[in-house]
Amino acid sequence: VGEFANLSDAELLAATAGEAEAFGAFYERHEDAVLYFFLRRGATADLAADLTSETFAAALGAAHRFKAGGPPAIGWLYGIARNVLAMSRRRGAVESRARLRLGMEPVALTDESLEAIERLGSEAALTALGHLPPAQREAVEAYVLAEQGYPAIAESLRCSEMVVRQRVSRGLRELRTRLEGS
């Protein structure tokens, strides 16, 4: 995965067709963000894992259609996550079509994985993150959870790097205030 550290999200998705591990790096970069997306919406750890699995399976199935100059990858991924959640709510069961299309088996979660997901959901800072204004939250999530650089976030949020820095800075200050208050 270290090989891919310097590649952008768009480059990782483009490389997936020839290098399977590139998608592993993409997953590693955004796993927390997607898991947290579902946890924040009330999913339990195992449900969040299933929804995350379907989200990344759908992303893998559509990776070849992702265009570098178009919507940012993180926004694209959140869009898929929103669809997966909506479809799952409509069906009353976790959507699994993308996973089945890829021939992926359901992931059998270990105790360690469940604990790690629960930790993500219960971390106070992340709970506080949910109370930030959407623009700040998105910037902080991309910077802290997805470990993206300011230029990449600016590109994905379609704003200047300066604006991203301000949003991240204000968001983190707000988080500190909330955490100290709690």
Partner 1 sequence: MTRIPELQYELVLAAGRRAAPRRRWAIGRRRWLAVALAALVVGGGAGAAGLAIHEGAPIKPAPAGDFEGRHHIVAPRPGTERIAATAPDPVSGPPWGLRVSRGKDGSLCVGAARVFKGRLGIYDATTRTFRALPLRGPDTCGVRVAPRTFGLFAALSSQVAGSPKILAPRDADMRLVVYGLVGSEVERLTAKGPGGAGAISISKEGGFVAVYPRAVFSDVTVTAHFRDGTTKTLGGRPLDRSNPTELARVAQSRVDYVGPPVARVDARRVLQIAIGCPADRRGRRCQGDVTLAAYGNGRTVRLGSHLIRIGAGASRPLHFRLTAHQAGLLRQSPRWRLQVRVILDPIAQQPIVRDLELVTSR
**CA gap 125, 123 in Å, rounded:** 6
CB of 105 to partner 1, least distance (A): 5
Number of residues counted as binding partner 1 (CB under 8 A):
37
Alpha-carbon dihedral sign for residues 37, 39, 43, 47: positive
24 interacts with partner 1 by CB under 8 A: yes
Question: Contact between 10 and partner 1 (CB under 8 A)?
Answer: no
Please tell me whether residue 100 binds partner 1 under the rule CB under 8 A: no
Per the listing, tokens 């992702």 go with 66
- With a CB cutoff of 8 Å and minimum separation 6, the contacts of 78 are 33, 34, 37
Q: Phi and psi for 63 in degrees, rounded to 5? A: -55, -35
CB-CB contact of 24 with 45 (8 Å): no
Helices first, then strands: H and E counts in the chain: 10, 0
Minimal distance in Å, beta carbon 81 to partner 1?
14
Residue closer to partner 1 by CB (options 62, 93) is 62
Binder of partner 1 out of 10, 57, 94, 139 (CB under 8 A): 57
> Taking contact as CB under 8 A, which single stretch among the options 48-56, 68-76, 89-97, 138-146 is the one that binds partner 1?
48-56
Kindly list the residues in this chain that would bind partner 1 in the complex (CB under 8 A). Answer: 1-3, 16-24, 27-28, 31-32, 35, 49, 52-53, 56-57, 60, 102-105, 107-113, 116-117, 120
